Chains A and B, each alone.
Chain A
Amino acid sequence: MRRTRLGLVTGGTFKTGLGVRLDADCTTEDLRVGEMVVIEGASNRYFGMITDMQLQATDPRLLASPPEAGSTLLAQALTGTVNYATVEVKPMLMLELKADLDEQRGPGPVRTIPMHFAALRKASAMDFDTVFGKEGGTNFAVGTPVPMDIPIRLRLDRFVERSNGIFGQSGTGKSFLARVLLCGVIRTRAAANLIFDMHSEYAFDKQTEDGHFVRGLRDLFGPQILVYSLDEGAAARRNVDVTLAVGLNQIEAEDIMLLADELDLTSTTAATAGLLGDQYGKEWLRQLLAMSADDVAEFCQSSGAHPEATRALQRKLRGVQRRAYLKEEAPFSLIDEMVAALGRGRSIILEFGRFDNPLDYMLVANIVTRRIRRLYQQKMERFEETKAETDRPPQLVITLEEAHKFLNPAVASQTIFGTIAREMRKYNVTLMVIDQRPSGIDPEVMSQLGTRVTGLLTEERDIDAVFTGVGGRSFLRGALASLDTRQQVLLMGHAVPMPVVVQTRTYDEEFYRAVGSSGSWTEDREINATDIWGKKQ
């Protein structure tokens, strides 16, 4: 006999949450920690999350001598009377119920609690619509509540407004989730995207661990996606639009600081780059690479740099210089064109080909992003002067993997990514960071991440980190711990009215049909330049 009512409120406080005694015929196994539920108060409807469950007994003696096996009458009589279950529910949103539908507003923050015996019930499709909004505009379904078939929608406009994080141990499906979200952003045109695709996963079809193929963004969205590559060789094999070259002239001292770990430089050595920069300005790197031993000595004399450090730096950077994508000089126009395309609503995926190691990834991402942000800053300043809509730069989301390398406390203050994170949406540029070690990210940066989507985390440090700056973390921990290892995430923050556990949408044929056009774009191998940069969508 299934009823929608689960139990009645029997206690609790505003601060810690409400205690609900489950009805006799409602079993704890029908519910899940992290599940969204609804409490019907007399004047308000409360949308909340189950944060804990307990088993109770009115008489502790029962626990010492539970019913004998075979005593079905006793066992069934005891359930719900002597032994009963309670759940803790933390209300997250409150809807004031108005008799006059015209006056009815949407749900808002919780300011009160219901009285005793208010009924708890499961959330219905209508409740989810009320909380998360209906389909349409930038509301994009990212999954369903765990046992149900009701879509939970993310407000992508709010999602892209601030930097975000996708977290979870390896194997929890972060890259699939990233694909889903990116598809959503692209489909709803919430923002333009720049994706630093370290392992060349996002653009084209890729074979998964299980052996089947998943579609790439280029296949789904065709000319809306531009694919760049660092690796010329790979570019020829794949359907890459542009091969990106990076010049030594584009490398700045701050990049060296960022790469200190990767290059295995001491801080002194890394700092030497700064001294070189002071001395030689933009030419510092070429100068350094061309220096003879004497030049080094001379330089050290005048700048106070350490000779050995300088020589070490020179050695290391000579190694870097040999990379195929690094030219003596590269025009910034390549990057500027990227910005132009982004300005027209395109999304860009930068593949790294064979250069899929952290060093190259970080170096190039830093350089590109620095340039792009500078351009955006200029555009924004101009827009503020003219106030003409056409001058407003479109929202840009930069997708960054292995985020902790860029945003750890040691370097966060120095990299452009740290700056972007801290600036929030000042220049319409935000980050979408993907990482499995949130504890590696600078807490200040973490607290700036508006929306966090996290899969299962087991390290205490990581769990603490992911909740930095989130209110009510104590009850959300229970929800986090209850996640399945695959395809279940806890969604919280700016883009959702209340935290919610979601079974993410499967990235499959059905999804492809839902977001993209039915046709595959891989057939059109020849895409000419005008097509990319000439037309406006």
Chain B
Amino acid sequence: MRIGEIVESTSTHFVAESLDLGRPPELGRLVKVHLAEDRDLCAVVCHGETGSLDPGRRAVRRSTEEVYDDQVYREHPQLEHVLRTQFTSLAVGVIDKEVVHQGLPSQPPPLHYSVHGCDEEETTRFTQDLYYFRLLLGVPVRIPVELVLAGHLRWVYRGRGHDEEWLQVAAREVAKLLKQDYERLATVLYAIERDT
């Protein structure tokens, strides 16, 4: 199921335009790009934003007393055409002929390739090994990775059928990686705990 198209591509991450305005994939979700016949790039969604298609234009207030929220879109039908939603995904590995290799891809994915959501089976397969947590925690982008990671853990937990055991192993892996920084660790684990 296609959910977006790549419009920026780097070795560490790519930005894709969402096919659905205002509804990018959930934070922390696992997505993939078909690089070749049986070679997929896997990535974790870490950021989403909606704004004007043209960087020179900015969104302005359009609501009134009577017209607000989703009514605004009915009132100004051109909005769907001049706004766009983008989401950023961090590359975490490649599945090559059903074998999982976690790490940065050797090359960034091609522009304009489609982004798909990962299904339950692919998610379970990819998340057996937790090495990729290091990539998520080591990325130098201006996003709060702890909350992205928390979202990711929650999402995988649900995707694997509320796999308690996996969640505990994953929590320990995060603790190992963040053992020098208790506050960051607590941010991640409290975030999950409150939700599950």
Contact = CB atoms under 8 A, between A and B. Distances in A.
Contact of B179 (A58, A71, A73): A58
Given A73-B192, A74-B190, A77-B189, A58 B180 contact: yes
Interface in A50-101: 57-59, 61-62, 65, 67, 71-74, 76-78, 80-82
A62 B176 CA distance: 14
B172 A24 contact: yes
A59 B172 contact: no
A74 B180 contact: no
B172 A61 contact: no
A24 B167 CA distance: 16
Contact of B189 (A59, A65, A74, A80): A74
B167 A82 contact: no
Contacts of B192: 73
A59 B181 contact: yes
A59 B175 contact: no
A59 B177 CA distance: 12
Contacts of A74: 171, 186, 189-190, 193
Contacts of A82: 175, 178-179, 182, 185
B175 to A, nearest CB: 4
A448 to B, nearest CB: 52
B174 interface: yes
A71 B193 contact: yes
Interface string B107-147: 00000000000000000000000000000000000000000
Given A73-B167, A77-B175, A80-B172, A59 B182 contact: yes
A65 B178 CA distance: 16
Interface string B67-96: 000000000000000000000000000000
Nearest to B185: A82
Counting contact residues on chain B (CB < 8 A from A), the size range is 20 to 34
A76 to B, nearest CB: 6
Contact of B172 (A65, A67, A72, A76): A76
Contacts of A59: 179-182, 185
Given A58-B179, A59-B179, A59-B180, A73 B168 contact: yes
B183 interface: yes
A81 B175 contact: yes
A65 B193 contact: no
Interface string A20-62: 0000100000000000000000000000000000000111011
A73 B183 contact: no
Nearest to A71: B193
A62 B172 contact: no
Contacts of B182: 57, 59, 61-62, 65, 82
B175 A78 contact: yes
Interface in A458-482: none
Contacts of A77: 168, 171-172, 174-175, 185, 189
Residue among A59, A73, A77, A80 with the highest chain B CB neighbour number at 10 A: A77
Nearest to A64: B182
A65 B174 contact: no
A81 B172 contact: yes
B169 to A, nearest CB: 9
B186 A73 contact: no
A67 B181 CA distance: 14
15 contacts: A58-B180, A59-B180, A59-B185, A61-B183, A62-B182, A67-B186, A71-B190, A74-B193, A76-B168, A77-B172, A77-B174, A77-B185, A81-B175, A82-B178, A82-B182
Given A71-B193, A73-B196, 10 more contacts: A61-B182, A65-B182, A73-B167, A73-B168, A76-B168, A77-B168, A77-B185, A77-B189, A78-B185, A82-B185
